[in-house]
Amino acid sequence: MKGILFGAAVGYVLGARAGRARYDQIARAFRALADHPAVQGAAGIVRAKVGEKTGFKRRSATNGHRADPYRRDPVIPRAN
């Protein structure tokens, strides 16, 4: 437990010394990476695979209808 608190304290001090400029630099780098077309394509593939495995697929942006019109939406019971 003491090790976790010590690590958190060291991280806080180092983070505070880095300051806002370093935070902004890291945030810009993350946004640039997330907006890269290759990353966007990989994220789309992962979303599709997860949708296949879980049964929850995204609706088409053009028509808003489900891909499989015969598949029922999951029923969520109401709380009484």
Q: What is the pLDDT of residues 14-37, one digit of tens each?
A: 777 777 787 788 788 888 998 899
- Residue boundaries of the structural domains of the chain: 2-54
Task: Tell me, yes or no, if the pTM score tops 0.75.
Answer: no
Alpha helical stretches, state H, the chain: 2-34, 37-54
Average pLDDT over the chain, rounded to an integer? 77
Q: Alpha-carbon distance 57 to 66, whole Å?
A: 8
Q: Structure tokens of 72?
A: 């029922």
